[in-house]
């Protein structure tokens, strides 16, 4: 779950804490809730990791690290542990940290001294037009890089403002009964990224069987990254 990740756009995941609170429609069928229940945990109980908190210090090779894949780095229930997590990040500039949140309004008040740090990217999740404001908040915050995770994509997002955005990830919903995602919605995002010169990464069509759902869009995979 942490040393090497099956998530295509990262090398490893790091979860200094687990558990989260659902705040928007994209959270409805979150894999974390499903997997936590499977392992006998309470997904609503936000708790500090007992064994994984200091993992990045152990990894000597530089990695792209998806931070808090089983929570939200900026959730208020983790405020007491965040300074320690920032310190671990500060000590490991060999890594690139990808911090994705649905709570961008909390970012500014939770940033460490000396920000921005060159090895930390900030991203926001957007599932529908109602949450495009998250990108506006992200754009207002200085960062070495900014990215959007348009997953699970629940509707056509229309015209995107990609100003100040360095990467876009897009995908359908995982799980046994995923909400549908139309190819036209994905093509629109891809074409806008091409037009703006922003790398586009298509993660999945969705469903519980990733191999069956596939990652092919118009005859090819789209694995573009800024690196």
Q: How far is CA 83 from the centre of its chain?
A: 20
From the list 98, 73, 96, the residue with the least C-alpha distance to 84 is 73
From the list 33, 51, 46, 54, the residue with the least C-alpha distance to 79 is 46
Output the tens digit of pLDDT for each of the chain's 227 residues: 457 788 889 999 999 999 999 999 999 999 899 888 888 889 999 999 999 999 999 999 999 999 999 999 999 999 999 999 999 999 999 999 999 999 999 999 999 999 999 999 999 999 999 999 999 999 999 999 999 999 999 999 999 999 999 999 999 998 888 999 999 999 999 999 999 999 999 999 987 566 567 899 999 999 999 99
Query: How many CB atoms lie under 10 A from the CB of residue 209?
Result: 10
- What pTM did the predictor assign? 0.95
């Amino acid at each position: 779950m942490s040393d090497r990740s099956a998530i295509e756009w990262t090398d490893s995941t790091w979860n200094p804490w687990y558990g989260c609170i659902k705040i928007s429609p994209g959270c409805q069928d979150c894999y974390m809730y499903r997997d936590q229940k499977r392992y006998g945990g309470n997904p609503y109980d936000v708790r500090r990791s007992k064994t994984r908190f200091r993992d990045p210090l152990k990894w000597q090779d530089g990695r792209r690290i998806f931070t808090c894949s089983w929570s939200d780095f900026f959730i208020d229930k983790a405020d007491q542990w965040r300074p320690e997590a920032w310190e671990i990040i500060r000590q490991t500039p060999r890594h690139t940290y990808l911090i994705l949140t649905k709570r961008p309004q909390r970012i500014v008040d939770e940033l460490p001294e000396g920000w921005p740090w060159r090895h930390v990217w900030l991203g926001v999740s957007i599932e529908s037009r109602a949450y495009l404001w998250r990108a506006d908040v992200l754009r207002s915050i200085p960062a070495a890089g900014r990215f959007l995770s348009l997953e699970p994509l629940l509707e056509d997002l229309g015209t995107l403002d990609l100003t100040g955005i360095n990467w876009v990830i897009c995908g359908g919903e995982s799980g046994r009964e995923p909400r549908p995602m139309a190819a036209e919605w994905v093509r629109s995002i891809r074409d806008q990224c091409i037009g703006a010169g922003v790398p586009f990464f298509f993660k999945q069509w969705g469903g519980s069987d990733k191999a069956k759902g596939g990652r092919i869009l118009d005859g090819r995979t789209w694995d573009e990254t800024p690196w």
